[in-house]
Structure formats: C-alpha cells, structure tokens
Amino acid sequence: MVCDYCSALQQKELIVFQDDQLAILFHPQPALKGHLLVIPKEHCPILEQVSHDVVASMFVHANKASLLLFEQLEAKGVNLLIQNGISAGQKTPHTAIEVIPRFFHDGLELSWDTKTLTEEDMNLMENKLKEEAENIILPVENAPQQKNEESLPLAMPEENYLIKHLRRIP
C-alpha cells in the first residue's frame, strides 16, 4: 500500500515544488490556507530514517516555504511542525515538516499543558541524557549542494528579505 504523500507524488498532485530529493506539497487536509508539507521523495516513515543531507535540505526548503507564505499570503507567523511517530500525533507514515502559516485570530491552537518534574527527576533525566549524548557520533555527510539551496524558486535577494523581515516585526 502506498502512503498518501507518496501517492500524491506519483500522481503529481498538490506539488508546489520538487527536486531530486524532496518535494513541497499542499497539505491534503490543511489546518489553514497555505499549509504546506516538505517531504523526502524517498518513503521514510520517521525522521531518523532520512539521511542527514536530505534533512538539511528539508529545513532549507521549509525556511524558503516560510518566506513564500510571508510574502504571498501575508502570513504574520509560521509554525514548523514535525510529528515523529504515532504517539507524537503523526497520522501519515511519511516524514514531513509541516509549514503552517499563521494569522492573527486564526483559531488554530498548538499548545499543551506543561508538566512539573521534581528536582530529583530533572537531575536524573539530565544526567542520563547528557551521558548518552556524549556517545553520539554523527557521521559527516556531504552538505546539500548549493544548487539545492538555490533551486527553489522562492529565493529572494538577501537585502530584500531583511528589509521585508524588519517590516513584519511588531
């Protein structure tokens, strides 16, 4: 069975942009107008299965998709959301960065109740994670090529982006 995102790619539906590694799609069930997905073309159910260079390219393109939403839809903010695994709310078994444009009073709530930990629990968790983090050895992969970064037709001159960015700061 083909996942919904792979099916959209195969049928060339909802595609805003694609290159050899990834695609930007309109979300088939958007939270708000302009809700986009940045997905690897290779079917990878969870983020840990995606190569580091594709993950890097996904974030570069999510950033550029954000700029597109600011410029074309006049979004006032953007949420980047990754739901990685069923317990994290992932509904489609395909890694995705959701790029959700935000508008004042748009009615979309992305909040949760905070949990309080005891000092002892916090110290135990901190020590355990720090100890394991020291053992992480990340392989160095080739960084995404410059052409991937500039291939998305959303790129704007740096000066223009900075000026426009300053205008939207409240």
Residues 10-25 pLDDT 10s:
999 999 999 999 999 9
Domain ranges (residues) in the chain? 4-167
What pTM does this model have? 0.76
Rounded CA gap, 3 and 39, in Å?
12
Rounded CA gap, 78 and 29, in Å?
17
**Starting from the edge strand earliest in sequence, which strands make up the sheet with 22-26, in order?**
15-18, 22-26, 36-40, 97-102, 77-81
Residues 41-60 pLDDT 10s:
999 999 999 999 999 999 99
Q: Spell out the CATH class of 4-167.
A: alpha beta
